[in-house]
Structure 1
Amino acid sequence: MDVIDIASKREDEHRAAVIAAHLAQQKKISDRPSAEHCEDCGGDIPEARRQIIPGVELCVECQDRQERMRR
């Protein structure tokens, strides 16, 4: 195995670990009940959104704002 193979293997292992951690976090979130009111603005979260996204805590507007701030 050369240096490139070792680096590629490490990258694959790291990627797999990141994906596994993300999936575990999503599982924890989906096990929680969905909020009826947004945790940021207090507005109503529509039933359709609560059914589609288990464990949802934010309305669409607040979720969008939060995602834009992360970029």
Structure 2
Amino acid sequence: MDLLDSACALEEKQTALALTNHFANQPKQTRLKSAEECNECGLDIPKARQEAVKGCQFCIVCQALADKGKR
């Protein structure tokens, strides 16, 4: 794993943690099953993201691209 891979992995962990912290004080959402793999790229979705964003179907990168209208 090179420096860029390490940086990307760290950013993904930090984003997942931020999402977890953000939703910790929110009312419980309807229990939706999150995908274990991204429906767009097929990469694993981290457990922290699955728990923080109930019903998520995309990894952080693909979701960000979708939000920007690039997917």
Structure 1 length normalisation: TM-score?
0.54
Q: How do 1:39-58 residues align onto structure 2 when only pairs under 5 Å count? A: 39-58=39-58
1:34 counterpart letter in structure 2: S
If asked which structure has higher relative contact order (CA below 8 Å, sep 6+), I would say: 2
Q: State percent identity of aligned pairs.
A: 36
Name the structure where helix makes up a greater proportion of residues.
1
Which residue is equivalent to 2:10?
none
Deviation per residue, 1:23-60 (Å, 9 max, x gap):
xxxx6xx4320100000000000000000010010000
The secondary structure found in structure 2 opposite 1:69 is coil
How much is the aligned-residue C-alpha RMSD, in angstroms?
A: 1.7
Q: How do 1:17-56 residues align onto structure 2 when only pairs under 5 Å count? A: 30-56=30-56
Larger radius of gyration: 1
Runs (5+) with no aligned partner, structure 1:
1-26
Q: How many residues are treated as equivalent by the alignment? A: 42
Displaced runs of 4 or more, over 6 A: none
Runs (5+) with no aligned partner, structure 2:
1-28
**Separation of aligned partners in 2, 1:40 and 1:32:** 19
Which residue is equivalent to 1:6?
none
